[in-house]
Chains A and B, each alone.
Chain A
Amino acid sequence: DSGVTQTPKHLITATGQRVTLRCSPRSGDLSVYWYQQSLDQGLQFLIQYYNGEERAKGNILERFSAQQFPDLHSELNLSSLELGDSALYFCASSGGLARHNEQFFGPGTRLTVL
Chain B
Amino acid sequence: DQQVKQNSPSLSVQEGRISILNCDYTNSMFDYFLWYKKYPAEGPTFLISISSIKDKNEDGRFTVFLNKSAKHLSLHIVPSQPGDSAVYFCAASAIEGYGGSQGNLIFGKGTKLSVKP
Instruction: Give the B-binding residues of A (Cβ under 8 A).
Output: 2, 4, 31, 33, 35, 40-45, 48, 55-58, 90, 92, 94, 97-108
Q: What count of chain B residues pass the 8 Å CB interface test?
A: 27
Q: Is the CB of B43 within 8 A of A97?
A: no
Instruction: Specify which chain B residues have a CB less than 8 angstroms from the CB of A105 in the assembled complex.
Output: 36, 43-45
How many inter-chain contacts with C-beta < 8 Å in the A-B complex?
75
Q: Is the CB of B41 within 8 A of A99?
A: no
Q: Is the CB of B109 within 8 A of A99?
A: no
- Interface status of B32 (Cβ within 8 A of chain A): yes
Q: Which of A40, A57, A100 is the most central at the interface, judged by chain B CB atoms within 10 Å of its CB?
A: A100
**Are A90 and B102 also in contact (CB < 8 A) when A42-B110, A43-B89, A100-B49 are?**
no
**CB of A91 to closest CB in B, whole Å:** 8
| Stretch of B11-19, B56-64, B74-82, B93-101 on the interface side | B93-101
Q: Is the CB of B103 within 8 A of A33?
A: yes
Q: Is the CB of A43 within 8 A of B44?
A: yes
Partner of B46 from the list A41, A99, A103 (CB cut-off 8 Å) is A103
